[in-house]
Structure 1
Amino acid sequence: MPNTLAMHLGILYLGGTIGCSGSPLTPLAAEIFLPCLKTIIAEEISRPLLSDAEAESINATQTSWHFYSGEIKDSSALVPEDWADILAMLLHPDQHHIKHWIILHGTDTLAFTAAFLETALQGTDLNVVVTGSQLPLLNPVALTLDRASDALGNLKTAYQILKNAQSHTQGWVCVAFHQQSWAADTVQKIHTQELTAFSGQKEEAHGSQISVHNNRPYLTNHTNFESLKKQLSAINIQIYYASPLPSHTLAEQLEHILTSGVEAVILMAYGLGNFPDDLRIHRALLAAEQRGVMVIITTQVPFGGVETRYAAGNWLSACGVLSAKILPLPAIFAKLAWLLITEANFIERRKKWLALTA
């Protein structure tokens, strides 16, 4: 019987650098990594973070840790159906008493997963922190804590966020990395090697930087996650990166993508959302809208988002192209994926997108 006085905290290990060892670096199997992680948490996080007053009143502050694993992989191998497996774990009936989760994820696609969870878990009471590390948690020989790694610091940050928020009932998802945290749908990876690997926008809510779930939940522990997995495996989203080619070449490339059976296309434009203006591109985009293809305009620039102040980008809305505004690429992809599996037609998807970016 779960201890109702404790904060029940689940750790879901999915691989990634934080669990890597060897040369070349490869994620350790859960049966090797999780026992080491349990020892480190007991020695470095559970008791050391308790004040004297908290230690005297342990029932009020005690954390009951629960350890799980999904499919262990390098996160560059992530596919959308993996998200269904993560959701199934978080919402499994056997875990109904666990409202606080730390997800250990590889950094390559961490922002994609976090943004998808933020969207999919709308309306639930789960508090989720997604984190990882740029360096492995463990010494490769002894499999003990490597104190030169950023992994322990990221774990402590994630735990502190959950500990501070445990009295709040509304659920949320955030990303924690290098002593910072951000709303899950604002995060993007910005460096391949530095410990400041991510950036995002901070939202003040419940004293933490989080995205709050306010809506009625779409998912429950009765959801058919196998069906969800099948739907996610079938989504077709493509990304087109604008480059300084002749307009007829761009038009040919776009026509090919837009008529390939794709369900959504993300146009990565220049600057504030500027894209070469060509009659053939107009026609291709209008035809795609008639076929129910979602086309979203964003920018190749990491920060600032898109606007329509320049004529070079203003024309796109007349061709049915929707703005991503300030959303980074991982959030655009994740939100499109969710709309494709939850809304049956183009009109509803378009309406929901406008609401998401309002």
Structure 2
Amino acid sequence: MQQILLIATGGTIACRETAQGLAPVLDGAALLQELPALRAWCTVSVCDLLRLDSTDLTAGDRMQIARTVWENRARYDGFVIAHGTDTLSYTAALLHHVLREIDKPVILTGSMLPMGAPGSDAPRNLLDACRTAVSGRAGVFAVLHGKVIEGCRVIKRHSSEMDAFLSAGTPPAAAINPDGTLTWQAPPQPPGTPSLVQQIDPHVLLVKLIPDLAPSFFQALHGYPHVIIETFGAGGVPARLEDAVRGLIRSGTRVYITSQCTEGGADLHKYEVGRRAEKMGAVSLGLRTTEDALAAVMCGEL
């Protein structure tokens, strides 16, 4: 029987109503009590790592999750991470980059309603995550609402609907059928040599470009290590901001360009305004999601 490690971190899936609103109070054992069927096809151990609203998770917390997976990798066949949905996409992307060439399934899941609440999606999502964890498909994935999404492609599109997540740029890697089997759409990644990124640089700032942003804004960022600018359409820097962004780059800041569009990405070769941005030293992030770009920059890949 396959051995799975459930890493509990809090989130809505672990919430109960308190005088101050929903707060994560359930531990991993309490979550598993709602899934007696699991005992028939896998053995699940619990690591109560954190008990936080995912809004409160830091890069240090995410690295703690990554290290927990890495340090237990030889003991378990797969990992399930119970996580809040608000920043699940950020954690999935960072784990994708930090757990390089991971040779075990690492599955993140959460829910839009707490475990035990009427109509909650928590039992289904947690059960589906465990099913995916015993599938043998190595890599980092998110499992939500019957979809298996690659860690670097997860986007939360809705703040309250049950079907809140999508796979950016490509269809989900797999669908979970009503009988619990998985239909994989994406081929498995070729095996590599697993490694753990030991250190990351969380000093990455995301700036959303708006039509009337003052050029003086960029002066406050001079010397900051990394700045990602979410630009319009295929990407580019407005002419009235070019001197300001050029000055930012000359100060030693690495500037990246992404698109505010959820599909299509940045293409700095398409328009003159994009080519001017590239000429001044801005780096296109192409088809990467914002979460994936942040993670790649933090890991020193860009």
Shared fold by TM > 0.5? yes
1:154 and 1:209, CA in 2 relative to 1: closer, same or farther beyond 3 A?
farther
Which residue of 245, 255, 276 corresponds with 1:295? Answer: 255
Runs of 4+ that moved beyond 6 A: none
Residue 17 of structure 1 aligns with an amino acid whose one-letter code is: T
Give the 3-state SS of the residue equivalent to 2:33 in structure 1: helix
Which residue of 274, 279, 283 corresponds with 2:246? Answer: 283
Cα distance between partner residues in 1 of 2:8 and 2:193: 28
| Corresponding residue of 1:14 | 9
Question: Which structure has greater helix proportion?
Answer: 1
Give the 3-state SS of the residue equivalent to 1:216 in structure 2: coil
Residue 4 of structure 2 aligns with an amino acid whose one-letter code is: L
Cα distance between partner residues in 1 of 2:90 and 2:295: 6
| Corresponding residue of 2:177 | none
Asked if residue 160 in structure 1 is aligned to residue 123 in structure 2, the reply is no
| Corresponding residue of 2:115 | 137
| Corresponding residue of 2:76 | 98
1:176 and 1:208, CA in 2 relative to 1: closer, same or farther beyond 3 A?
farther
Cα distance between partner residues in 1 of 2:194 and 2:5: 20
Which residue of 32, 43, 66 corresponds with 1:64? Answer: 43
User: CA offset at residue 236 of structure 1?
Assistant: 1.3
- TM-score, normalised to structure 2's length? 0.87
Cα distance between partner residues in 2 of 1:116 and 1:160: 23
Question: Which structure has greater strand proportion?
Answer: 2
Q: What RMSD in Å do the two structures reach over aligned CA positions?
A: 2.4
| Corresponding residue of 1:39 | 33
User: CA offset at residue 199 of structure 1?
Assistant: 1.0
Give the 3-state SS of the residue equivalent to 2:218 in structure 1: helix
1:324 and 1:210, CA in 2 relative to 1: closer, same or farther beyond 3 A?
farther
| Corresponding residue of 2:209 | 242
Which residue of 159, 165, 170 corresponds with 1:192? Answer: 159
Residue 16 of structure 1 aligns with an amino acid whose one-letter code is: G
Contact residue 150 and residue 173 of structure 2 kept, 8 A? no
Contact residue 14 and residue 31 of structure 2 kept, 8 A? no
Which residue of 279, 286, 294 corresponds with 1:325? Answer: 286
Asked if residue 310 in structure 1 is aligned to residue 271 in structure 2, the reply is yes
- TM-score, normalised to structure 1's length? 0.74
1:187-226 residue pairs with structure 2 within 5 A?
A: 187-200=154-167, 201-202=170-171, 207=184, 209=186, 212=189, 214-219=191-196
User: CA offset at residue 282 of structure 1?
Assistant: 5.1
Cα distance between partner residues in 1 of 2:246 and 2:279: 11
Cα distance between partner residues in 1 of 2:160 and 2:148: 19
1:189 and 1:210, CA in 2 relative to 1: closer, same or farther beyond 3 A?
farther
